């Protein structure tokens, strides 16, 4: 047997047993995540009912909810590392020859092994050291860290099992050995000091990203390795920072908004939005593409997740576009392009991440998101109008009766967005309470319409829990990395870079946008918000820019990178579902990308001019 044959994945009974074990493990983790999310929702909605109906809350509800959220992320980590939510950059690896791709796969999994060991052993170390009992819950404080020790261990097993089945068990063993060697090196005092140590963390995480390692584990591995070169975060402190990063009540809104969007999709209300959008604009030139745009605007008010909207559009809108004569790549580009609005038009998960990282007002960011969303939607409408050629996609103009009927049908979904945003903006409820009410509203409406049943609700819980765990894991992994940047005073160097050509609002806005446009090419959108938001915001404030307006510009800038290579998550989601080459969709999205960049320039000019104009209002 030659070397190539030995490198093939195992076959026969052994492989069948391994695949069966892995499938059962994944199903159990998904079910555990669904159960934790359901329990999390029950705790928060019970507290909301108690507070607003009976005039008093539960003392223990907020802390219990935070602990449950941590457990959801910990047990969802093994799913996030091997699924489409792993946030892997595979474009560069894809250009390598076959031998190079095999080596890159081994090294990428070695980074995942390193990060898993940090969670597993670091979590166990903290759990062993932390004493005391939670005064509110009466539970050992060590449990919060123990769940990450368990999650890290499970992630290690899942990564190695997946590597063995996809490549070979010898390859999986090699990833384990290399990853363990990285981990061992990170624990050593090398005597070599690099200033600043965050440079080592960034370089190592960047190498992992280029090789195709999951982004959260590349970040954890980078911070871990920096300790051997003068970094100030020992392994237990990395886990403590990660747990602290996700232990914010505001972040509970992320899984709830994801769940509300899934329930609307499973319950068929999202399709009602599409019918209403078609009645409004379906008769225009490129009417079906404009329908996709308006439907995305309407769906944004209920989902808050661009990835969820992209997946829905790829399953529902794109096949219809293709059937009406749109080239598949262009259909995918339209769906991906309009999906970016979901993280701009409130409620927006991106704004929640920014608020958690910078302490900006969520309500003010949501108002700014409405304005920016309107400008971006108009830019996309113009881009679609100018780029669609040789396609007859206009439908007969809908009558007033048809529009009214479709509006009534879409009202339940439209009402969700209105209730949520109005409740947050006018201070009736907190963001997390509003997100829990969004789930309750979606459940009640869809069950009343008999468009949901136990099976579909459980499916929505499983999918939302996995997505929420992936987002939460990224937040947790970004926290120690951001701490290291703060200790190394990288913000001062960033300020010097951004103010290199002047400290006025126009110069700072221009250079900040350039920094974001470059960084967004290599950083996941969520990671870029969490890492760059706290660094750039003080510079913008010092230049006289309104912090909320700058925050909106930051999110708009980074969301545009959902459409740009090499990461372009929205393009990858759509191309994967449509089974179209990502490169073809990237090319087809260029006209829409151009219109969005023009809109970004206009919004940036408006934000830079505002300090000098607001005296006139």
The DSSP 8-state label assigned to residue 9 in this structure reads P
Query: Does the residue 467 lie in any domain?
Result: no
Please indicate, yes or no, whether residues 289 and 143 belong to a single structural domain of this protein: no
pLDDT band for 31, please (50, 70, 90 cuts).
Answer: very high
8 A C-beta contact, residue 313 and residue 559: no
Determine contact, residues 571/359, Cβ cutoff 8 Å. Answer: no
Q: Residue 614 pLDDT > 50, yes or no?
A: yes
432 bridge partner residues:
none
Q: What are phi and psi of 613, to 5 degrees?
A: -95, -25
Greatest mean pLDDT range, 7-16, 72-81, 423-432: 72-81
pLDDT at 568: 76
* SS3 at position 133: strand
**Contact in structure between 508 and 543 (CB atoms under 8 Å):** yes
> Which range is least confidently modeled, 5-19, 391-405, 514-528?
5-19
3-state SS of 136-199 is CCCCECHHHHHHHHHHHHHHHHHHHHHHHHHCCHHHHHHHHHHHHHHHHHHCCCCCCCCCCCHH
- Assigned domain for 459 exists: no
Inter-residue contact 585 to 576 (CB < 8 Å): no
Compute the mean pLDDT over every residue in the chain, rounded to the nearest whole number.
83
Q: Rounded to an integer, what distance in angstroms lies between the CA atom of residue 159 and that of residue 269?
A: 37
Task: Pull the structure tokens for residue 276.
Answer: 């209403």
pLDDT for 23 equals 87
pLDDT at 111: 95
DSSP state letter for 10: P
Residue 88 to residues 105, 213, 405, 526: CA-CA distances in angstroms?
A: 11, 6, 44, 13
Count the domains in the chain: 2
Q: Percent of the chain beyond pLDDT 70?
A: 91
**Residue 131 DSSP code:** -
Q: What is the pLDDT of residues 45-96, one digit of tens each?
A: 999 888 888 877 788 888 999 999 999 999 999 988 876 666 676 667 878 8
Judge if the upstream peptide bond of residue 174 is cis by omega within 30 degrees of 0: no
Does residue 1 form part of some domain? no
- The whole-model pTM stands at 0.81
Tokens of 535: 């660094």
Instruction: Choose between 443 and 295: higher pLDDT.
Output: 443
CA dihedral 156, 158, 160, 161 (to 10 degrees): 160
Encoded tokens for 148? 């990450």
* Confidence check: pLDDT of 575 > 80: no
| Exposure on the CB side of residue 318, measured as CA atoms within 13 A | 30
* 226 and 344 belong to one structural domain: no
Q: What is the per-residue pLDDT for 9?
A: 55
* Among 24, 20, 144, 156, residue whose Cα is nearest residue 77: 156
Say what the pLDDT of residue 501 is.
67
> Quick check: 393 pLDDT over 60?
no
472 within domain boundaries: no
* pLDDT at residue 75, as a whole number: 93
Q: How far apart are CA 443 and CA 464, in angstroms?
A: 14
Q: How far apart are CA 614 and CA 91, in angstroms?
A: 45
pLDDT beyond 70 at 6: no
CA dist list (Å): 59 to 21, 64, 65, 141, 478 = 41, 10, 11, 17, 30
Q: How far apart are CA 594 and CA 222, in angstroms?
A: 35
* In a domain? residue 556: yes
Q: Is the pLDDT of residue 2 over 60?
A: no
pLDDT of residue 554: 93
Lookup result for tokens 């030995």: 6
**pLDDT (average), residues 108-113:** 94
At a CB cut-off of 8 Å and minimum separation 6, what does 548 contact? Answer: 360, 361, 364, 365, 368
The string of pLDDT tens digits covering residues 265-286 is: 788 777 787 777 778 776 677 7
Q: Which of 211, 228, 247 is the last residue of a domain?
A: 247
Is 534 domain-assigned? Answer: yes
What is the model's pLDDT at position 125? 92
Identify the residue with better confidence: 456 or 192: 456
Question: Please, which pLDDT band fits residue 119 given cuts at 50, 70 and 90?
Answer: very high
For residues 262 and 308, the answer to whether their CB atoms sit within 8 Å is yes
193-230: b (≥16 Cβ within 10 Å) or e: ebebbbebbbebbeebbbbbbbbbbbbbbbbbbbbbbb
Cα of first residue to Cα of last residue in the chain, in angstroms, is 80
Structure confidence at residue 611 (pLDDT) = 63
Quick one: 294 and 387 in the same domain? yes
Residue 615 has pLDDT above 90, yes or no: no
Return the CA Rg of the chain.
24
Domain that holds residue 337: 252-452+488-612
Residues 179 and 290 in one domain: no
Q: How many CB atoms lie within 10 A of CB 270?
A: 25
Q: Which of 92-101, 214-223, 287-296 has the highest mean pLDDT?
A: 214-223
> Domain check: are 435 and 514 in the same one?
yes
**Same domain membership, residue 173 and residue 270:** no
**Both 551 and 602 in a single domain?**
yes
DSSP E strands, 254-397: none
What does the DSSP assignment read for 94-121?
A: HTS-HHHHHHHHHHHHHHHHHHHHHHHH
| Residue at a domain's end among 232, 247, 262 | 247
243 lies in the same domain as 331: no
Q: How far is CA 187 from the centre of its chain?
A: 31
**pLDDT score for 549:** 92
Residue with the bigger pLDDT between 541 and 503: it is 541
Least Cα distance to 478 among 239, 220, 276 occurs for 220
Residues 6+ apart with CB under 8 A from 392: 324, 325
**For residues 542 and 552, what is the distance between their CA atoms, to the nearest angstrom?**
17
- Looking at the chain, the whole-number percentage of residues with pLDDT higher than 90 is 24
> Where is the domain boundary, 223, 247, 271?
247
* Torsion sign across C-alpha atoms 473, 477, 478, 483: positive
Q: In this structure, are 56 and 158 located in the same domain?
A: yes
Q: Of 74-83, 172-181, 386-395, 513-522, where does mean pLDDT reach its minimum? A: 386-395
pLDDT of 10: 53
Position 593 in a domain: yes
Count CB atoms within 10 A of the CB of residue 21: 12
Structure tokens at 448: 């009343």
**Cα(244)–Cα(236) distance, integer angstroms:** 12
Q: CB-based contacts of 94: which residues, under 8 Å, 6+ apart?
A: 101
Q: Please determine, for residue 3, whether its predicted confidence score (pLDDT) is greater than 60.
A: no
In a domain, 483, yes or no: no
pLDDT at res. 516? 87
What is the distance between the alpha carbons of residues 389 and 462, in angstroms, rounded to a whole number? 41
Token pair of 421 as six digits? 């945003």
Q: Which residues contact 439 (CB under 8 A, 6 or more apart)?
A: 41, 45, 256, 259, 260, 263
pLDDT tens-digit readout, 368-391: 888 899 999 999 999 988 888 776
Report yes or no: 388 and 325 within 8 Å, Cβ to Cβ: no
* Whether residue 12 has pLDDT greater than 70: no
pLDDT of residue 87: 67
Whether 195 and 271 map to the same domain: the answer is: no
299 and 230, same structural domain?
A: no
515 and 381 housed in the same domain? yes
Helices 306-323 and 328-339 cross at an angle (nearest 10°) of 150
CB 549 within 8 A of CB 499: no
C-beta atoms surrounding 251 within 10 Å: 25
């Amino acid at each position: 047997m030659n070397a190539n044959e030995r490198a093939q994945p195992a076959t026969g009974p052994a492989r069948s047993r391994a695949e069966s074990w892995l499938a059962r493990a994944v199903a159990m983790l998904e079910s555990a995540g669904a159960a934790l999310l359901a329990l999390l929702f029950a705790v928060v909605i019970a507290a909301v009912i108690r507070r607003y109906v009976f005039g008093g809350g539960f003392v223990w509800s907020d802390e219990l909810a935070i602990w449950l959220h941590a457990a959801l992320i910990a047990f969802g980590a093994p799913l996030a590392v091997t699924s489409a939510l792993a946030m892997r950059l595979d474009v560069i690896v894809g250009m390598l020859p076959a031998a190079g791709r095999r080596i890159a796969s081994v090294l990428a999994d070695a980074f995942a092994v390193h990060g898993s060991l940090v969670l597993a052993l670091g979590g166990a170390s903290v759990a062993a050291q932390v004493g005391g009992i939670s005064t509110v819950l009466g539970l050992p404080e060590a449990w919060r860290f123990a769940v990450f020790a368990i999650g890290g261990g499970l992630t290690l097993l899942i990564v190695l099992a997946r590597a063995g089945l996809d490549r070979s068990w010898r390859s999986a063993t090699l990833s384990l050995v290399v990853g363990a060697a990285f981990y061992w090196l990170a624990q050593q005092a090398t005597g070599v000091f690099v200033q600043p140590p965050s440079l080592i963390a960034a370089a190592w995480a960047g190498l992992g990203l280029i090789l195709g390692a999951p982004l959260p584990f590349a970040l954890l591995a980078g911070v871990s390795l920096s300790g051997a070169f003068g970094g100030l975060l020992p392994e237990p402190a990395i886990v403590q920072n990660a747990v602290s990063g996700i232990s914010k009540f505001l972040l509970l809104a992320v899984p709830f908004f994801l769940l509300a969007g899934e329930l609307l999709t499973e319950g068929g209300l999202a399709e009602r939005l599409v019918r209403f959008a078609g009645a409004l604009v379906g008769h225009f030139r490129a009417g079906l593409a404009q329908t996709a745009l308006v439907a995305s605007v309407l769906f944004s008010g209920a989902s808050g997740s661009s990835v969820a909207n992209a997946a829905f559009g790829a399953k529902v809108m794109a096949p219809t576009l293709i059937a009406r004569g749109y080239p598949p790549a262009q259909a995918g580009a339209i769906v991906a392009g309009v999906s970016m609005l979901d993280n701009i038009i409130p409620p927006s998960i991106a704004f929640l991440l920014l608020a958690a990282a910078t302490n900006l007002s969520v309500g003010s960011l949501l108002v700014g998101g409405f304005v920016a969303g309107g400008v971006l939607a108009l830019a996309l409408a113009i881009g679609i109008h100018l780029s669609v050629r040789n396609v007859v996609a206009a439908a007969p103009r809908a009558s007033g009766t048809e529009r009214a009927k479709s509006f009534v049908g879409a009202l339940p979904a439209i009402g969700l967005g209105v209730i949520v945003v109005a409740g947050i903006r006018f201070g009736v409820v907190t963001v997390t309470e509003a997100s829990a009410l969004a789930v309750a509203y979606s459940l009640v409406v869809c069950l009343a319409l008999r468009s949901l049943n136990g099976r579909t609700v459980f499916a929505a819980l499983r999918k939302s829990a996995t997505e929420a765990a992936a987002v939460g894991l990224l937040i947790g992994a970004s926290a120690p990395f951001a701490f290291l940047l703060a200790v190394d005073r990288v913000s001062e160097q960033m300020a010097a870079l951004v103010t290199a050509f002047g400290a006025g609002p126009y110069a700072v806005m221009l250079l900040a946008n350039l920094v974001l446009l470059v960084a967004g090419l290599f950083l996941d959108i969520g990671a870029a918000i969490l890492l760059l938001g706290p660094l750039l915001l003080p510079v913008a404030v010092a230049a006289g820019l309104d912090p909320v307006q700058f925050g909106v510009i930051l999110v708009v800038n980074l969301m545009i990178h959902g459409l740009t290579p090499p990461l372009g998550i929205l393009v990858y989601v759509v191309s994967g579902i449509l089974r179209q080459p990502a490169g073809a969709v990237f090319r087809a999205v260029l006209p829409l990308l151009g219109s969005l960049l023009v809109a970004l320039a206009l919004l940036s000019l408006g934000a830079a001019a505002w300090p000098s104009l607001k005296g006139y209002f």
